[in-house]
Amino acid sequence: MYQTFNIFPTTVYVGEMEDHSKHKEDFYKVYSKYDYAPVIHKNGYEYHTTTSENFGNPLIHLDEKLESLFSDIVYHTQKYVYDVLEYKKIFDFIITKTWLSRARKSTDETKWHGHAPSHASFIYYLNTPPNSHTLNFLTPHNSNSLFAGNNTSDYKHGIETFNEVNSSTFFLEPKEGTVVIFPSTIRHRTSSTNSNFEGERLAIVGDIVLVYNDEILDYSQGYINPKHWKIYSS
């Protein structure tokens, strides 16, 4: 007889957007405002991009016609923070920036990256054709690895079946109408699983910062409310 304890997990939240049909319809009415070219020439260089973060409009959340959409995303983020992670209900949730992530062919992948210094990040899948790219996560420290913290070595040394206990990566198959929320520090990417992918996989991606409610001024960690900030321009 024995016991095991899976301590220090990384928790990823997947929620169903109840008003997805309406949100999708609302977004496609304004899609042209946030569309972007897949190949961009800038400063003498050619850039190929699957996101609009650097080359489009990173302020989709300010669109008044999408207020309901982003309110629902914040609702799910609050469920993640308060109900799953069980933080105290003392925070305001600030969406700092939002952009599009899009794939139109199997090679439209993103590389490993993170979204620090934000606190939570989200991906809302507006459209996911069959064989859409998976969302992959990478652990910053594979605590259960017995061979130099490297799953490549583990594989060579005898892991028979990879699972959430012994893997250094984890992937989710995107589902239209869902929002995925995770700590901004965790590294992730999109990855093609089928060369026959056709259509357009489209998602809204964004970052959220948690700040203390206006009346809270006695915490040494975290951000006090921006109402009390003073900005100096450079």
Tokens of 129: 């054709």
Q: From residue 180, how far is each of 41, 43, 183, 186, 207 by CA, in Å?
A: 32, 35, 10, 13, 12
**The pLDDT of residue 194:** 84
**The pLDDT of residue 84:** 97
The pLDDT tens digits along the chain (234 residues) read 999 888 888 999 999 999 999 999 999 999 999 988 777 677 777 666 677 777 768 999 999 999 999 999 999 999 999 999 999 999 999 999 999 999 888 888 888 999 999 999 999 999 999 999 999 999 877 777 776 555 555 555 577 888 888 888 889 999 999 999 999 999 999 998 888 888 999 999 999 999 999 888 888 889 999 999 999 999
Cis peptide leading into residue 130 (ω within 30°): no
Distance between CA atoms of residues 123 and 13, nearest Å: 11
Distance between CA atoms of residues 2 and 13, nearest Å: 30
Q: CA end-to-end span of the chain, whole Å?
A: 64
Could you tell me the fold of the domain covering 13-35+47-62+74-212? Jelly Rolls (2.60.120)
- The answer to whether 125 and 203 have CB atoms below 8 angstroms apart is yes
Distance between CA atoms of residues 81 and 211, nearest Å: 13
**The pLDDT of residue 150:** 55
pTM: 0.90
